[in-house]
Amino acid sequence: MKAPTSIGKLRYRVDLQSGTESSDGAGGCTVAHATVAQIYADIRPSGGSEQYRQGKIQEKVTHKIFIRYRKEIDSSWRIQYEGRTFQIKNIINVQERDRFLQLLCEEGVAA
């Protein structure tokens, strides 16, 4: 899939959320997400799969999400759009030009 050639293709208004870890008091940690910005994105489904885990079928859908370049994003962040959550797995600086980022995301799985 090609990256958008203009910002006009970024038509979905999404919430960009950062994750912060905090201790849960029992030796583990929990991750809380807070909205950093509302931005426009191009969301494109790219595949899906199913797994049988813990007695249930779990579905996973992968997406390529294109946004304008932002240097602070990392894989602990996520995208929310109309009640859907997309966990960022990989980040690609499209053509290394600092114009667009391609976020490889999963929907339907825990962080």
Class of residue 99 by CB neighbours under 10 A (exposed 0-12, middle 13-18, buried 19+): middle
pLDDT of residue 10: 93
Of the listed ranges 21-25, 49-53, 104-108, the one predicted with least confidence: 49-53
For residue 110, what pLDDT is reported?
Answer: 59
Reported as a single tens digit per residue, the pLDDT across 47-73 is: 776 667 677 776 778 999 999 999 999
Rounded-to-integer distance, Cα 79 and Cα 99, Å:
19
Kindly list the domain boundaries of the chain, sorted by start residue: 7-107
Round to whole Å and give the CA distance between 100 and 8.
13
- Determine the topology of domain 7-107 in CATH: Thrombin, subunit H (2.40.10)
Give the separation between CA 88 and CA 67, rounded to whole angstroms. Answer: 12
Taking residues 72-93, what's their average pLDDT? 94
The verdict on pTM exceeding 0.75 is yes
pLDDT band at 5 (very low <50, low <70, confident <90, very high): low
